[in-house]
Amino acid sequence: MQFIDVRTDFAFKKVFGSLQSKDILISFLNALLDFGDNPIVNLTIVDPYQAPLVMTLKNTYVDIKAYLDNGTQVIIEMQVLNQSGFDKRVLSNVAKSYSTQLEKGDKYIELNPVIGLTFTDFVMFPQPQLASQVSTDFILLERHQLIPYSEDMRLVFVELPKFDKKIRELKGMTDKWIYFVKNVGHLKSIPKTLANDKAINQALTIANTASLTPEELDVQQKKLMWLSDQKTNLARAERAERENAKAQKAAQEALDKAIKAEAEKQAAEVEKQAALEQAKNAEKAAKLQIAKQMLQANADIAFIKQVTGLKKIEITKLKE
């Protein structure tokens, strides 16, 4: 028995966004979004292509889009590659879905909440306080008192690398669904822990390669190859960036060392000149002292000049 890896956009949509996926998606969202005493009982899966009402806005593809029975929109995305600006893209998708709901004449009170549920196959929040937190849930809050402004735009992230539970450690549907997303592509049989749930069983049936057409298997294989190539390219770019940063650091260190050496050289020269000046002054003082003593002994100025090397005017001043 073999299953497709749902971390590709094709497989993710196939399992959670197909026409037969309604019950699967309800179970999935109830487990991941924690609606408390008001679980999802019904939803409608729609075309995930977001065509903006305003032509200047950028068109966006998301993996799955659904409307809950209370009008809330949910955007579900599986992101494997840690691309630059991805965090802003998630925010843009949710904001766009929220802001383009109204047509001319509609009232703002008619706006419905939008939730962005994003799975990442990389660590998105490396902060120490979030190091072991698999799921993060963001809403608009007052900056200092953390009072909610609105929960109309909600961003939920599930970071797969942070989830390291084994099949025997799974507790509850949240663990089971995250385990499914991360590991179903590696399963060779259906674990009893997952087999006990109807919705996950349905998802496993859809994900079973035996239920896919040759064309679908080909698409999946091409998606996996493309992701592998992109990961390789990203790894090369990151390695080149690290090497460039390392080279820049080495160049800066060499420059700093050269500047320090030059500064030390200049300081040594200044110190040398000061020592020479001090020695010269000491020698001059000694000659003046000798000249003074010779004058006191009534020695001739010409003789004193010959002995000390002083100028006549310097010797004459000693008499004053």
pLDDT digits (tens, 9 = 90+) for 266-306: 999 999 999 999 989 988 888 888 888 888 888 888 888 88
pTM above 0.75, yes or no: no
User: Does 173 score more than 90 pLDDT?
Assistant: yes
Cβ neighbours around 63 below 10 Å, total: 20
Instruction: Average the pLDDT over 48-54 and give the result.
Output: 43
On average, the pLDDT of the chain sits at 89
User: Does 59 score more than 50 pLDDT?
Assistant: no
User: Does 48 score more than 90 pLDDT?
Assistant: no
The per-residue pLDDT for 58 is 43
Instruction: Average the pLDDT over 76-97 and give the result.
Output: 92
The per-residue pLDDT for 265 is 93
The per-residue pLDDT for 60 is 43
The per-residue pLDDT for 154 is 95
User: Does 45 score more than 60 pLDDT?
Assistant: yes
The per-residue pLDDT for 297 is 84
